[in-house]
Amino acid sequence: MDIITQENPTETTISLELRGRFDAHEADMFRAAVDQAIDNNNVQIRVDLANVEFVDSTALAELVRGMKRCREQRGDLVLVHPSDPVRVILELTKLDAAFDIV
């Protein structure tokens, strides 16, 4: 999986565009990107999932962890344009109710 990071220097917002398969093999890389963003006070994280074809349970857990960390800092982790299979997986796991999805 690739992560393309795009910061907005005037705001506390950062975009993480993920590409490929987001599974347990990629969890450490994603966690590091989220933690670095929060450490840099980018507590509004937009995770673009348009080009992610599959997320496993470990990936979902990482998304939830990131969302909780952001909300603790009065920010949020927002899911952007999840691909169709990822949308369905979010629905089936009922995580669609937990995240802000745009």
Partner 1 sequence: MTELSTLNSSKLDAYRAWSTTPIESRPRYSVVIPAYNEEWRIVPTIGAIATHMSSLGEPWELIVADDGSTDTTVELVDDLDLVNLTLLVAEKNGGKGSAVRRGMLAASGELILFADADQSTPIEQIESLVDQINAGHDVVVGSRAAAGAEVANKSLSRKIFSSGLGFIVRGLFRIPVADTQCGFKLFTADAADLLFRRQLVDEFSFDLEILYLAGKFGLSTAEVPVTWIDAPGSKVDAAKVAVEFIRDLAVIRWNDLRGRYESDNHQASAAG
**Three-class HEC string of the chain:** CEEEEEECCCCCEEEEEEEEEECHHHHHHHHHHHHHHHHCCCCEEEEEEEEEEEECHHHHHHHHHHHHHHHHCCCEEEEECCCHHHHHHHHHCCHHHCCEEC
**How are strands ordered across the β-sheet holding 100-101?**
2-7, 13-22, 44-55, 76-80, 100-101
> Rounded to the nearest whole angstrom, what is the least distance from the CB of residue 10 to partner 1 in the complex?
26
> Rounded to the nearest whole angstrom, what is the least distance from the CB of residue 26 to partner 1 in the complex?
10
> Rounded to the nearest whole angstrom, what is the least distance from the CB of residue 40 to partner 1 in the complex?
27
C-beta closer to partner 1: residue 7 or 100? 100
> Rounded to the nearest whole angstrom, what is the least distance from the CB of residue 69 to partner 1 in the complex?
19
**List of residues contacting partner 1 (CB under 8 A):** 21, 23-25, 53-58, 60, 84-85, 87-93, 96-97, 99-102
C-beta closer to partner 1: residue 13 or 58? 58
C-beta closer to partner 1: residue 31 or 39? 31
C-beta closer to partner 1: residue 40 or 68? 68
